[in-house]
Amino acid sequence: MGLLDGKKILVTGVLTDASIAFQAARLAQEEGATVLLTSFGRQAKLTQAIAKRLPAEAPVLQLDVQSQEDLDNLDAAVREHVDSLDGVVHSIGFAPQSVMGGNFLSGEWPDVATALEISAFSLKSLAVATQQLLRDGTPGGSIVGLTFDATLAWPVYDWMGVAKAAFESTARYLARDLGPDNIRVNLVSAGPIKTVAAKSIPGFEKLDAEWPERAPLGWDNSTAEPAGRAIAALLSDWFPATTGEIVHVDGGFHAMGS
């Protein structure tokens, strides 16, 4: 019997098989879940190609979190494949390079606003868009998002770090407001992994360089599977009383002093 037998999971953000979202989708299927993916625009072809590398090819639904039309249509699009959801994985983030890579002081509001809308507000947008689907699912629905520890000011991360701080706060408020529906909202804070998102950060290697030495368990930045396993666990029924939490999957780096 799998950890997620019979569950129906919506996963956003699958672009390559190196991504945390892909590992979460793969592990969810291996643990018995039915998985649906989302994508949009030019990325959709990439997602459709990568979907074929899953144990079972997953349908790809249209969703641009900046499009209210897509958000409004998501419920119906999901119901073309399943009658409800038991879990949602938020793996969406973007900031223009003009507000990262050492550009904190020169960052301008339009670009900062883009980072905040896509990387933080989208968690609320996705939660609202899937709220009824989760209500209709097995009692105890789960939303899991991905963050990068926002308690510190990291080199080169700049306004994306601010967006992640807003993202983490958004998750806590969602945990408060969705709790009465028995919907849990938790985050996984992964260490640096060589994904498409990471490669888009100017100077990413500065974040990555010292991680294996400072993390007491060590750190392998070439695999997203440990983070994917944490997501699968939080989607399962094994955390029925946990919400508003951030689970660190970083080799223990976050707990160490300098």
Three-state SS annotation for the chain:
CCCCCCCEEEECCCCCCCCHHHHHHHHHHHCCCEEEEEECCCHHHHHHHHHCCCCCCCCEEECCCCCHHHHHHHHHHHHCCCCCCCEEEECCCCCCHHHCCCCCCCCCHHHHHHHHHHHHHHHHHHHHHHHHHHHHCCCCCEEEEEECCCCCCCCCCHHHHHHHHHHHHHHHHHHHHHHHHCCEEEEEEECCCCCHHHHCCCCHHHHHCCHHHHCCCCCCCCCCHHHHHHHHHHHCCCCCCCCCCEEEECCCHHHCCC
Give the integer Cα–Cα distance in Å for 145 and 188. 6
- Domain-located, residue 1: no
Half-sphere exposure of 244 (CA within 13 A, CB side): 11
* Domain limits for position 230: 8-255
Angle at CA of residue 47, ends 159 and 25, nearest 5°: 85
> What pLDDT is recorded for position 258?
67
- Domain-located, residue 2: no
- Domain-located, residue 61: yes
- Domain-located, residue 116: yes
- Domain-located, residue 176: yes
Backbone Cα Rg of the chain: 17
Q: What is the CATH number of the domain that holds 119?
A: 3.40.50.720
Give the integer Cα–Cα distance in Å for 133 and 56. 22
> What pLDDT is recorded for position 194?
80
Catalytic member of 7, 124, 164, 173: 164
Phi, psi for 18 (deg, rounded to 5): -90, -10
Residue 173 among the catalytic residues: no
- Domain-located, residue 66: yes
- Domain-located, residue 118: yes
Q: What is the pLDDT along the chain (258 residues), one digit of tens a residue?
A: 899 999 999 999 999 999 999 999 999 999 999 999 999 999 999 999 999 999 999 999 999 999 999 999 999 999 999 999 999 999 999 999 999 999 999 999 999 999 999 999 999 999 999 999 999 999 999 999 999 999 999 888 999 999 999 999 999 999 999 999 999 999 999 999 887 666 666 666 766 778 888 999 999 998 999 999 999 999 999 999 999 999 999 999 999 986
- Domain-located, residue 109: yes
Give the integer Cα–Cα distance in Å for 184 and 140. 7
Phi, psi for 166 (deg, rounded to 5): -65, -40
Catalytic member of 7, 45, 52, 157: 157
Number of domains in the chain: 1
Residue 157 among the catalytic residues: yes
